[in-house]
Amino acid sequence: MINAVIYISLSINFSQYFSYIGPGMGGGVIAAIFGIIAAFFLGLWGILYYPIKRAFKNKKTKQMLSKNDKQKGK
């Protein structure tokens, strides 16, 4: 219990820290965040778009086959 109190009191230290985060580090963080967001949306795109595209393609193929069967029957 005492360790938790010490850990919390040290982690909530409101003193001023003198550190410099350069533009390279900031750019890297921004690129990493952008990459994570892009991976999420591209994953959703792959999960949702390609099965729907395949379903429409199969539907179109079946319609063309049924149309050809009707024309041959005449």
The residue ranges of every structural domain in the chain are 23-74
Query: If pLDDT is split at 50, 70 and 90, which confidence band does 3 have?
Result: confident
In whole angstroms, what is the distance from residue 53 CA to residue 63 CA? 15
Quick: pLDDT tens for 7-36: 887 777 766 666 777 888 889 999 999 999
Encoded amino acid at 49, one letter: Y
Distance from C-alpha of 53 to C-alpha of 65, rounded to nearest angstrom? 18
What is the pLDDT at residue 28?
Answer: 93
The model carries a pTM of 0.52
DSSP string, 4-41: HHHHHHHHS--SPP-----HHHHHHHHHHHHHHHHHHH
